[in-house]
Structure formats: C-alpha cells, structure tokens
C-alpha cells in the first residue's frame, strides 16, 4: 500500500500556499493506489500552522518544530525528511516543484534509493499500473513514466493540481528529529527581495515584459499598469540576461512556472522556453509589433502594436476605468 508523505513549506512563519497542490496530488495518488497520505512541515516556530494543514483528510500532520530548522540547508533537511519517512513507513515523498524541492528532493531520493519523477502534471492508471506524465524539452514533449523502485519521490507542477479540497480532520503529531549537520555547507544569510507587489507564483495577474521594452526605462512602463491591477511583474530570460531585471522575475523553463488568471506578454516573442512557464495561465494577452510572433499562437487575445504606444494607452484606460 502506498503511504505518501507530502512535504509542505513554510517561509518566515507563514505557510506557503503554493506548496499545497502537492496535497491534491497525494490524495489522487492515494486514491488510485489504495494508499493514504500524510503531511509534514519542518521549521522553527511553525507549530501554529498545523491547523492550516489539518483539514485536507490526511492520515496525520507531522510538525517538526525546532530552532535548528530555522534556516533551510539541503544536507541536514534531507536527512531529517528521510528519518521521518522511515519512522512513519512512507513509501513515497511528494512536494511541489519549486526551488526548495529542486534542491532537497534529489538528495532525499538518493538517500531512499528511490526513483524520482520531477514536475508531474498528471497521474494515469490504477494500482500497480499507475504512471505519471511530465513535460520534457521545455514542454514540447509529454513523457509518461513509471517508477520501478519500491520507494518514490515526486515533485509536482503546482499549476496542474488544484489547491486541496477540504476533508476529514487530521490528527497533528509533533515529532522531534535530530538536526544532523554534515558540515558541508553553512547558512550565512538571507537577503529577501523587498517588493510591494505580490509574489509571481501567487499573483492572479502577471505582466511579463521582453526584449521589446528595450531597457530599464522601457521596462518601467509596466510599473503603473502592474500597480493599478495589483499584478506581479515577470520577465523573459533575455531581459534578465541583459541586466534589466533581477532573475527572480524570470518566467519559463529555467525560471518560475506561473498560471495566473490573467497573463500579459508584452514585447516578448514567445520562445518555447518562456511559454513553458506560462502557458497554463487562464487568459493570455499578447502585445507585440510583429503579427507573426509565436506568442500569438498561445494567446487568447492579441494586440499587434508598438509597446511604447500601447502600454501607456492601456494604463490610461485602466486608470480611467478604476476611477
Ligand atoms: C536552455 C534554455 C533555457 C531558457 N529558459 C528561458 C526561460 O526560463 N525563460 C525565458 O523567457 N527564456 C528562456 N530562454 C531563452 C529563450 O529561448 C528566448 O531567447 C527568450 O525567451 C527571448 O526573450 P524575448 O522574448 O524577450 O526576446 P526576443 O525573442 O528577442 O523577442 C522580443 C520580441 O519583442 C517584439 N518587439 C520588439 N520591439 C517591440 C515594440 N516596440 N513593441 C512591441 N513588440 C516589440 C519583437 O517583435 C519580438 O517578438 C531559455 C533558453 C535556453 C536555451
């Protein structure tokens, strides 16, 4: 029987809601394989967050709350996750595909001698025949894979699984785990990007700019529109590489994967590596002066025009509309 352990995430004392679609994945997998799932949260001062995890029908919610786990370090955290998995007899580990699991899960998989499937977008089949879909080659190919090892590790695309539905209340268990410092890395400091704008992964509106905006001043055209719409700003890799934007704004295969309600693609061509990070957006609006630009192929609404004319006009129209 599959016993799945979901690793939820907390950051600066708050539960990362973006980590919760992994619970939906685990519930689906448990249903298809006749198993059960639990949720674990590691950190410091996080006991108060247990209530936010205990209403999804998990068998248990495990809280590992200790000062040693204040700051994330891959080595000790991987050991802790594996110790917990062994303790509760977990046969599978799941989490949302993000920078945290990209760093942590391969180490967990290696320690568990488990096959790992990254960026799962769907589950097919039942019981022992269950297989997993994952995008490959920047989303141009969808692979279907089967795990051959007794244990497995999954990172799942948060944009392809809904937030978890309410279920039976789960018992909460506080667990003490040793923090085994392997001495290989030392936590030095964390320098957060301070922004009044919503996080790219959580915003319901994202406005992404590309090379068509030319430079920092051109990119700045997006600011007022973003402020009016309460939107997050994203960027293409071309813009990041040119030093116009910090790389935490990059959307795409090697950046963030987003699926907002509304995505504006402004002066960007729609390279496959960019589209891989935004094509699940509910409504896509593309603005580009080249009517042949590939972005129009994935857009719901397309506007052929010069961004330096269109964006100020659009911003003015939004401002008027908002009164
Ligand atoms: C391994 C790998 C990983 C990658 N990962 C990513 C990734 O994660 N994210 C990502 O974005 N890219 C990624 N890339 C890069 C990607 O291939 C493209 O090079 C990049 O997305 C192009 O950025 P762009 O659309 O801003 O620029 P361009 O492709 O140069 O497009 C600029 C667009 O602006 C339009 N334009 C120009 N002037 C105006 C104007 N005045 N008004 C309106 N439109 C105008 C042009 O018509 C053009 O369509 C990756 C590449 C590789 C090889």
Supply the pLDDT for residue 1.
58
Q: Which of 288, 296, 303, 306 to mutate to test the pocket of ligand 1 (most atoms within 8 A of CB)?
A: 288
> How far, in Å, from the CA of 270 to the mean position of ligand 1?
6
Tokens of residue 17, six digits: 């809601």
Q: Give CA–CA dist 224/123, Å, rounded.
A: 41
Tell whether ligand 1 has an atom less than 6 A from the beta carbon of residue 271: yes
User: Is residue 267 over pLDDT 70?
Assistant: yes
Q: Which ranges of the chain would DSSP assign to H, the alpha helix?
A: 21-33, 74-88, 99-112, 216-219, 221-229, 237-241, 272-275, 295-298, 307-322
Domain boundaries, the chain: 3-174, 205-322
Architecture of the domain made up of 3-174: 3-Layer(aba) Sandwich (3.40)
Tell whether ligand 1 has an atom less than 6 A from the beta carbon of residue 237: yes
Fold classification of 205-322 (topology level): Rossmann fold (3.40.50)
pLDDT digits (tens, 9 = 90+) for 145-196: 999 999 999 999 998 999 999 999 999 999 999 999 989 999 999 887 778 8
Share above pLDDT 70 across residues of the chain, in percent, rounded to a whole number: 100
The ligand 1 atom at the shortest distance from the C-alpha of residue 210 is: 26
Q: Give CA–CA dist 206/229, Å, rounded.
A: 9
Supply the pLDDT for residue 121.
96
pLDDT digits (tens, 9 = 90+) for 220-264: 999 999 999 999 999 999 999 999 999 999 999 889 989 999 999
pLDDT digits (tens, 9 = 90+) for 105-126: 999 999 999 999 999 999 999 9
Tokens of residue 274, six digits: 């960019």
Q: Please name the residue whose Cα sits nearest to atom 49 of ligand 1.
A: 269
pTM (predicted TM-score):
0.82
Q: Establish whether domains 3-174 and 205-322 are of one fold.
A: yes
> How far, in Å, from the CA of 250 to the mean position of ligand 1?
11
Rg (CA), the chain: 21
């Amino acid at each position: 029987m599959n016993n799945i352990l979901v690793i939820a995430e907390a950051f600066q004392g708050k539960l990362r809601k973006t980590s919760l679609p992994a619970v939906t994945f685990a519930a689906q997998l448990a249903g298809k394989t006749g198993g059960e799932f639990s949720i674990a949260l590691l950190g410091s001062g996080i006991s108060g967050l247990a209530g936010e995890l205990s209403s999804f029908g998990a068998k248990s919610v495990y809280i590992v709350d200790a000062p040693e786990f204040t700051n994330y370090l891959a080595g000790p955290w991987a050991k802790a996750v594996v110790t917990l998995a062994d303790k509760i007899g977990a046969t599978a580990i799941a989490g949302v595909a993000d920078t945290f699991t990209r760093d942590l899960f391969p180490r967990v998989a290696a320690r568990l001698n488990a096959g790992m499937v990254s960026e799962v977008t769907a589950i097919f089949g039942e019981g022992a025949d269950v297989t997993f879909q994952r995008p490959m080659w920047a989303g141009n190919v969808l692979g279907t894979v089967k795990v051959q090892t007794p244990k497995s590790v999954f990172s799942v695309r948060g944009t392809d699984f809904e937030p978890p539905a309410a279920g039976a209340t789960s018992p909460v268990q506080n667990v003490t785990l040793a923090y085994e410092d392997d001495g290989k890395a030392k936590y030095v400091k964390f320098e957060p990007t301070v922004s009044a704008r919503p996080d790219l992964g959580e915003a319901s509106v994202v406005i992404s700019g590309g090379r068509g905006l030319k430079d920092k001043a051109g990119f700045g055209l997006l600011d007022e529109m973003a402020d009016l719409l309460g939107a997050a700003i994203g960027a293409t890799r071309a813009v990041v590489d040119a030093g116009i934007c910090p790389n935490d704004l990059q959307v795409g295969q090697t950046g963030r994967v987003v699926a907002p309600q509304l995505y504006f693609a402004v002066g960007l061509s729609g390279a496959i590596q960019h589209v891989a990070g935004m094509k699940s957006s509910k409504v896509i609006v593309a603005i580009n002066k080249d009517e042949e630009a590939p972005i129009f192929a994935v857009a719901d609404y397309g506007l052929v025009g010069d961004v330096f004319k269109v964006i100020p006009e659009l911003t003015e129209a939004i401002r008027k509309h908002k009164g």
